[in-house]
Amino acid sequence: MELQAGEGRVIAAAGLGRVLVATAVSVERDAVAKAFGGFSPGPDDEALGVVGRAHPPPSSRLRSSGGDPHRPSGTTAHGGSGATARDRIDVIDAGVGPALAAASTASALTAAALQGTPYDLVVSAGIGGGFEPEAPVGALVVADEIVAADLGAETPDGFLPVTELGFGTVRHHPPEDLVRRVADAAGARTGAVLTVSTVTGTAARATALRERHPTALAEAMEGFGVAEAAGAHGVPVLEIRAISNPVGPRDRAAWRIGDALAALTEGFGKLVPVLESWNRHDQ
């Protein structure tokens, strides 16, 4: 299965709009949306470039055209006290890589805030590479740390993260309690999830990453960017990855994207009660 690059479109915007799930590409977006009952097109969605939407109609609708930032579009009434968790979950395909994921997520957060329906939680979600044997293909990983693994400088003595160069940050910490509850509900493992701009393709690179980050279970390409955007808005962040391939020697034919997407749907399907009951102000 081929993944198409994301276009930053919101396909599932509904109800209270409190949780933003940022995937990279459309098949990941659809896999997450499926967990909340799937989405059907609304009457004017085609004109808006929206692929589909949840029920009831969205409180806010965002779209992007080309490389333009998201911008608010039509506004409709949102669900009241009877709104369910799925009414509060928006799913976007924010694009591949940390930079586009950060830009798309920040745009969605800003638009929601300007519309008076800010998000309480951002979730970076999708497929990822797993460090074996702890995170085999098909497993689900919830990040207890979201780490920018290649943000720094190479030196003759090895890699230096930007923090050791005196600036920036290289890790974000999702709320501990939420990580535990989400992992328990979804049957997921917890560990660091690395964000890389280059997919690991050799055993040597996999070993080097694991030596530098002994608690790492997975690598992907967006989590840190999504977390930076969430952090800039003061919103907590989670990262959830379904493992499609081992981190190691490149063997693209062996990627099990379909299995990973199915695991993503199944995992998110178990999260509704957790997301419904979690209150960021308890943290």
Q: How far apart are the first and last CA of the chain?
A: 40
| Nearest to ligand LNDFFVEH of 245, 265 (CB atom) | 245
The residue of the chain with the least Cβ separation from ligand LNDFFVEH equals 129
Binding residues (CB under 6 A) for ligand LNDFFVEH: these are: 3, 24, 96, 126-129, 196, 199-200, 219-222, 244-245, 247, 252
Nearer to ligand LNDFFVEH, 85 or 142 (CB): 142
User: 158-189 as b/e, with b when 16 or more CB fall inside 10 Å?
Assistant: eeebeeeeeeeebbbebbeebbebbbebbebb
In angstroms, what is the minimal distance from the CB of 89 to ligand LNDFFVEH? 20
Residue 42 or 126 having the CB closest to ligand LNDFFVEH: 126
Residues 32 and 236: their CA atoms lie apart, in Å, by 19
Smallest gap, in angstroms, from Cβ of residue 43 to ligand LNDFFVEH?
Answer: 32
Taking residue 81's Cβ as centre, other Cβ atoms within 10 Å add up to 5
Smaller CB separation from ligand LNDFFVEH, 54 or 135: 135
Residue 271, Ramachandran bin (φ over 0: left; ψ between -120 and 50: alpha; else beta): alpha
Nearer to ligand LNDFFVEH, 59 or 200 (CB): 200
C-alpha separations of 88 from 121, 192, 202 in Å: 10, 27, 41
Q: Measured from the CB of residue 137, what is the shortest distance to ligand LNDFFVEH in angstroms?
A: 10
| Contact indicator for 9, 107 with CB cutoff of 8 Å | no
